[in-house]
Structure 1
Amino acid sequence: MMILQFGTSRFLQAHVDLFLHEARVAGQEVAPVTVIQSSGAPERAGRVRAFDDPAGYPVIIRGLEKGQPVERRVQVTSVARGLSVTEDWPEILRLFAHEARFVVSNTGDAGYATDPADAGLDAAQPARSFPARLAQLLHARYVGNGAPITLLPCELVNGNGPVLRGLVRDHAAAAGDAAPGFLDWLDRAVIFANTLVDRIVSEPIAPVGAVAEPYALWAIENQPGLELPCRHPAIVLADSIEPHERLKLHILNLGHSYLAQIWQDEARPPGETVREILADAGVRGRLEALYAREVVPGFAARGMQAQARDYVATTMARFLNPYLDHRIVDIAGNHALKVQRRLAAFIDWAGTPAPELTAIIERNLP
């Protein structure tokens, strides 16, 4: 049994992979992780190979817990090897078809985008898009032995599990080369868990490793037949993860994108961090006013006023963490797409007036 992880990000290194390591240290039987680089970016080749080191990699947890400064270093050894889609596809295909029990993914903000060039399920060459590639791999597994498998997507997409299931199923249904019974097997034997991840991972450590805050959450929505790769204090199994999802996406992530908008509009220093921009009393006041005037009232309309106020307070404390350097240039990547997912989706959900958020959405339309 093993865990396949699509994505080499520092976030996964300091979140899922760290949890798996800590669970193993606590005495649980935890399958090893094989990390797969999906992008094929040549500048990340060194990172992929660094995952082969049996000594593992460092994660530094730095920040405040209950108002007290903490710093601890963990040498994470849950990852056994690294592979690249462009260099190691036959081995990835073999592992997925015959050895994987769990699949974790974090393929970035555009990870669920499809590609018109992808067609069919023939796995001789990897598809370009992640959903089509996943359909290829699942088809190969079905043809090989059809063993059940659980997918734990960690992309910041509302309903990431159902969305990914729909994309994979649509691709498979449109393919003319699917084996008989494959779609039924997809529905019966493949679990696409709905999950939410929450942790600020501010800095990479070369070639592999990361610096992260103490706060961490991996909320996973329960469903029949769901199994988890480990137990951990930061893993919450819930009947519905929507409350966690809305708070994180429309307060913490929304706040990040709001600060990124200010940073872009005002041509602020290129290396400015969240903590540094909020040291500007004017910017901090604007963010706090946005939360009070437009965000919390939206949550109140959904019966979540108290939870939103508490989460705003927690979020501001995390933003002001004096021990993390979370650069806004990193947050600003794919800004227009994030504005749609974090701001526009909030307005659609809350249905309350939000003139400042609306103005930002309009400025970021194509």
Structure 2
Amino acid sequence: MATPILQFGTSRFLQAHADLFVSEALERGEALGRITVVQTTGSPERAGRLTALAAPEGYPVIMRGRQDGRDIDSRQHVTSISRTLSTMTDWDAVKAVFRDEAEVVISNTGDTGYQVGPDDRAGTVPASFPGKLLALLHDRFRAGQPGLTILPCELVARNGDVLKRLILDLQTDRYPESVFRNWLSQDVIWANTLVDRIVSEPIEPAGAVAEPYALWAIEKQPGLTVPCTHPNILVVDDLTPYEKLKLHILNLGHTVLADIWLRGNRSADETVKAILSDISVRERLLFLYRQEVVPGFAAKGLGNEAEAYVAATLERFDNPFLDHRLRDIANHHPEKLVRRIVDFHTWTPDVPKPELLAIAGGQ
């Protein structure tokens, strides 16, 4: 059976996000079709995962957390994956699916997924994900096939724009035909997306534990194809409000709690839910949200959206099943203070933020 959705990456995030959405949509007849998953790294410890992902009975996703004031602990099976391949051993098959079947390409290749090293052109298969993607696009172009939609899910701002620029830079060096460049620029749809779901634990050999909250926001553009219709997929005119809500409410809240943890004599293993059980800490965070964060969003015409997102964020922080340790959130703390607090004030400079700016200090 042809698979119109081709996915690069086997991460537990995608298992409990895009793959789950498509599985649920297939049950309603609201998906393009099933998925071929491609492993890009050749990691031997993930070989068993490939087999389990495409098992006929599917793989489990356990949903645990708080939503609408109640605890949720449920299990379902994802059956949207029809085939799994590896670029290390199945390159010809990957090329055939990309060339002849794919209508939508999804990627989630990790923090270093867009890096291109000096050895990228060694051998038949490029080492990097961008190198592989460019080679596959060139093969599809030479076969006279139409363009397709690429939906990157990496946590990079304007990820579609970033990936497009990177591919065009590589194209200039590797396949410098102007007609191919025009095809990449005009026929291929490079979508900017934002994903938001905490996937806290893997289930071996395939599956994951995730929170109930989920969002996949995709910026609208002509020719865009989405893999399915789903309540958690939003096709929007502008991603900016969604990026700002996540960065300056959810992420900002994490950084405020990490700052309190760093400055206090607190447990080395303290979690988000544990620190929020301290009433003084909880009241401080609520004060910052009410007095400085929501007014900032209101100044941009996003007050109602911010209030709703704060409520959802607090439920996520209170997830009784999730042990999100503050020592992990505190990594790269100075940079996070700038991006999550200082940049928020730069975006909304007319709203006073004395407490937040005091936390940011001299940043």
User: 1:202 matched to which residue of 2?
Assistant: 200
Deviates more, 1:135-144 or 1:257-266: 257-266
Q: Secondary structure at the match of 2:88?
A: helix
* Paired residues for 1:1-366 under 5 Å: 1-112=3-114, 114-117=115-118, 124-128=124-128, 130-173=129-172, 175-260=173-258, 272-292=270-290, 294-328=292-326, 331=329, 342-343=340-341, 345-351=343-349, 354-356=356-358, 358-359=360-361, 362=363
> Partner letter of residue 51 of structure 1?
L
SS at match of 2:41: coil
- Secondary structure of the residue aligned to 2:103 is strand
Deviates further, 273-282 or 14-23:
273-282
Distance in 2, matches of 1:192 and 1:131, equals 13
For the 8 Å contact 1:203–1:326, the answer to whether it is kept is no
User: Which has the higher mean CA deviation after the structures are superposed, 250-259 or 52-61?
Assistant: 250-259
Residues 267-293 of structure 1: CA deviation (Å, up to 9, x unaligned): 865654322232233443443344345
Q: Shift of residue 336 of structure 1?
A: 7.0
Percent of aligned positions that are identical: 52
Query: Is contact 1:106–1:154 with CA below 8 Å preserved after alignment?
Result: yes
* Rg larger in structure: 2
Q: For residue 63 of structure 2, give the secondary structure of its aligned residue in structure 1.
A: strand
Q: 1:131 to 1:346 in 2, by over 3 A?
A: farther
C-alpha separation in 2, matches of 1:75 and 1:180? 46
The C-alpha deviation readout for 1:219-268, integer Å capped at 9, x for no partner, is 21211111211111111122222212210122112323444455566686
Q: Distance in 1 between matches of 2:6 and 2:335?
A: 27
Provide structure 2 residue ranges, at least 5 long, that are not aligned to the other structure: none
Give secondary structure in 2 for the equivalent of 1:107.
coil
The Cα shift of 1:108 comes to 2.5
Q: Is the 8 A contact 1:275 1:325 kept in 2?
A: yes
Return the TM-score normalized by structure 1: 0.84
Asked whether the 8 Å contact 1:50–1:82 carries over to 2, the reply is no
**Any idea what SS the aligned residue of 1:93 has?**
helix
Alignment gaps of 5+ in structure 1 = none
**Aligned partners of 1:348 and 1:283: how far apart in 2?**
26
CA contact under 8 A between 1:257 and 1:338: conserved in structure 2?
Answer: yes
Distance of aligned partners of 1:187 and 1:53 in 2 relative to their CA distance in 1, 3 Å threshold: same
When normalised by structure 2's length, the TM-score is 0.85
Q: What is the CA-CA distance between 1:28 and the residue it aligns to?
A: 3.2
- The one-letter code of the counterpart of 1:213 is E
CA apart distance, 1:183? 0.6
Conservation of the 8 A alpha-carbon contact between 1:222 and 1:238: yes
1:75 Cα offset (Å): 0.6
